[in-house]
Amino acid sequence: MSILVTGGTGYIGSHTCVELLQAGYDVIIVDNLSNSKAAVLNRIKAITGQQPGFYQLDIRDRDKLDKVFAENRIEAVIHFAGLKAVGESVALPLAYYHNNITGTLVLCELMAQYGVKQLVFSSSATVYGVPERIPLGEDCGRSATNPYGRTKLMIEDILSDLYAADPAWGIALLRYFNPIGAHESGNIGEDPHDIPNNLMPYITQVAIGKRDKLSIFGNDYDTPDGTGVRDFIHVVDLAKGHLKALEKVLVSPGVTAYNLGTGQGYSVLELVRAFEQATGRPIPYVITGRRPGDIGICYADTTRAKAELGWVAEKNIEDMCKDAWNWQINNPQGYRDGM
Ligand code: NAD
Ligand code: WQD
């Protein structure tokens, strides 16, 4: 029996595949490589000694995805595949709706057809929109301010409807906060194609000299130092959360949302300082205006994941910074160096 991982060569997917393989699961990855490289597969093998099964396909291609279910005994699915850039989603809403929503519909139809009803889905703290309260509990109101966020909201609703129609499904909606860092081996990590949208990859590119300085988007938020506060979580902790959620959906039907964060907020400036301290590299920065759509504070109440999944984040901000930097210096060109 295998675990099917959609989007498994991506940033969070690759780290989760490593944890799955190390825990003894057989893994089949499907990915269209629209935002990742096949070289990731060799890196996963370098860490685990095992090469996961791999199909290069778009999950919207029903015939190709059907073949994967027909050729393998799939026990459960972890569904990462999707587009994730907030700004791009505003410019290209149809591409986002088609990729994220249609992709999930085709996947779930095939799962139902093959009697595979255990699903772990990559949702996001973005579904909380402007936070109703801090820390954010899973019961907080949901809303979206951009098409990307709306796809996550819609998929959460679609999956809830699916469970309502057929209570044999076991579905975990994992709401990630801000994943950063990389595997401690330095073999896999985040590999943005273009100018990074997110804070940590921007910081590591400044540290390595690829970019002059960081722009900090606003220091007039209602936070201790005025810069935005986020719940940064080490990607390996996040990956481990998927294994806990998988164990849960394999034994208990239902549809449940879980926050995956540390429960602690750090400001942008605190992260910059922590990075400088952990790595000894200076991060020059300028304060610029707020980024449209940003919120001031966002961090998780992680009580439910602890109580129901037995999961808590174990790595601290120093680990996140050290591992992000280790990945960057070992792979100055990302995966583009071909291995
Ligand atoms: P990523 O882009 O590194 O990984 C996604 C993978 O899915 C990529 O390898 C891409 O090639 C693949 N993919 C995209 N569309 C596909 C399709 N139609 N068919 C097959 N493969 C497809 O992103 P990530 O950071 O690893 O994020 C994984 C998931 O987690 C996404 O759904 C994302 O929305 C969600 N998420 C990410 C974050 C974050 O900050 N990274 C936060 C919250 C939620
Ligand atoms: C963090 C903080 C920025 C870059 C996004 C998505 C969210 C989720 C995770 C997928 C903010 C500040 C950033 C920079 C900066 N993804 N910043 N300079 O916005 O919390 O969340 O990624 O689901 O949906 O919105 O993460 O890393 O972009 O920003 O000052 O160059 O860093 O303003 O306060 P965000 P981020």
Does a structural domain hold residue 53?
Answer: yes
| 24-29: average pLDDT | 98
- Closest ligand, as measured to the CA of 127: 2
Active site amino acids: 148
Does a structural domain hold residue 46?
Answer: yes
| 246-252: average pLDDT | 98
- Say yes or no: CB of residue 121 within 6 Å of ligand 2: no
Could you tell me the pLDDT band of residue 280, with boundaries at 50, 70 and 90?
A: very high
Check: CB of residue 144 under 8 Å from CB of residue 153: yes
pTM for the whole structure: 0.98
The interaxial angle of helices 147-165 and 103-113, nearest 10 deg, is 20
In this predicted model, what pLDDT tens digit does every residue of 182-223 receive, in sequence order? 999 999 999 998 899 999 999 999 999 999 999 999 999 999
- Closest ligand, as measured to the CA of 272: 2
Does a structural domain hold residue 144?
Answer: yes
Considering the chain, what is the average pLDDT of its residues?
Answer: 97
| 231-242: average pLDDT | 99
Q: Ligand 2 pocket check: which of 136, 151, 291, 295 to mutate, most ligand atoms within 8 Å of Cβ?
A: 291
Q: Ligand 1 pocket check: which of 84, 136, 178, 233 to mutate, most ligand atoms within 8 Å of Cβ?
A: 84
- Say yes or no: CB of residue 86 within 6 Å of ligand 2: yes
Does a structural domain hold residue 210?
Answer: no
Does a structural domain hold residue 217?
Answer: no
Strand pairing partners for 173?
121, 257
In this predicted model, what pLDDT tens digit does every residue of 78-122 receive, in sequence order? 999 999 999 999 999 999 999 999 999 999 999 999 999 999 999
Check: CB of residue 6 under 8 Å from CB of residue 30: yes
13 Cα to the center of ligand 1, angstroms = 8
Flag whether the ipTM exceeds 0.90.
Answer: yes
Does a structural domain hold residue 155?
Answer: yes
The yes-or-no verdict on residue 271 having pLDDT over 80 is yes
6 Cα to the center of ligand 1, angstroms = 9
Does a structural domain hold residue 300?
Answer: no
CA gap 255, 264 in Å, rounded: 26
At 32, which CATH number?
3.40.50.720
Strand pairing partners for 4?
28, 77
Residue type, 109: E
Residues spanned by the domain of 165: 2-180+232-262
| 17-35: average pLDDT | 98
CA gap 35, 58 in Å, rounded: 12
Does a structural domain hold residue 101?
Answer: yes
The tally of domains found in the chain comes to 1
In this predicted model, what pLDDT tens digit does every residue of 285-339 receive, in sequence order? 999 999 999 999 999 999 999 999 999 999 999 999 999 999 999 999 999 755 5
In this predicted model, what pLDDT tens digit does every residue of 141-150 receive, in sequence order? 999 999 999 9
The yes-or-no verdict on residue 70 having pLDDT over 60 is yes
Q: What is the pLDDT of residue 336?
A: 75
**Number of residues that make up the chain:** 339
